Amino acid sequence: MKNIVCFDLETRRSAAQVGGWDAEACAKMGISVAVTYSTRDQAYHIYTEEQADALISELREADLVVGYNHLGFDYAVLQPFTFWNLCDTTRNLDLCTYLSERTGHRLKLDTIAKATLDGCSKTADGTDALKWWAEYEKNGDPQLLLDIAKYCCFDVKVTMEVFRFGASHGFVHYDDKEGNRVRIDVDWSLE
């Protein structure tokens, strides 16, 4: 069976704190929590920055890594933890890039999920995860790490469900600024 690994991570520092969104700045953001979902073992795996080696091994061993802007962002954050070039040593499907190439503009994961998965949407956003991390650094409350992990797990679940829908049906949807439902044909495979 093909092992498809869906992946997302949350950072310790914001773009404002590290000087922007370019790869060099992203490399300074650090990892609060990273999450994968593996189709081989049908399980979520949660990693902290201290477990980056194990995360990188899982990604490199996957038959396909699926994410949402993971090539442009998550891998840039993760890159300082390995000498491997993650973009070159993993097989990837970046849904954000794929859909942007077909529509000519960038779409948020939440926009695709709400239209494709009958109103399913994210539970929070990245700024919430940054606030939880800052509070965790102040008081060490493990519940805050759990909150980040839950949020990140749900993002991975939403990404995986969008991928599965597209693979099964050959399309996904989004609602444009005028509220019209737009279909995007996709060629994704679960095999």
pLDDT along the chain (191 residues), means of 10: 93 94 94 97 96 97 96 96 94 96 93 87 74 94 94 95 96 93 91 66
DSSP strands (E only) in the chain: 4-11, 31-38, 43-47, 64-67, 92-94, 171-175, 181-185
pLDDT at 172 (0 to 100): 97
What distance in Å separates the CA atoms of residue 90 and residue 80, rounded to the nearest whole number?
16
DSSP class of residue 79? G
pLDDT at 123 (0 to 100): 58
151 Cβ neighbours under 8 A, 6+ residues apart: 10, 123, 124, 128, 129
pLDDT at 118 (0 to 100): 82
What domains are defined for the chain? 4-185 (3.30.420.10)
pLDDT at 126 (0 to 100): 72
pLDDT at 77 (0 to 100): 97
3 state SS of 170: coil
pLDDT at 119 (0 to 100): 66
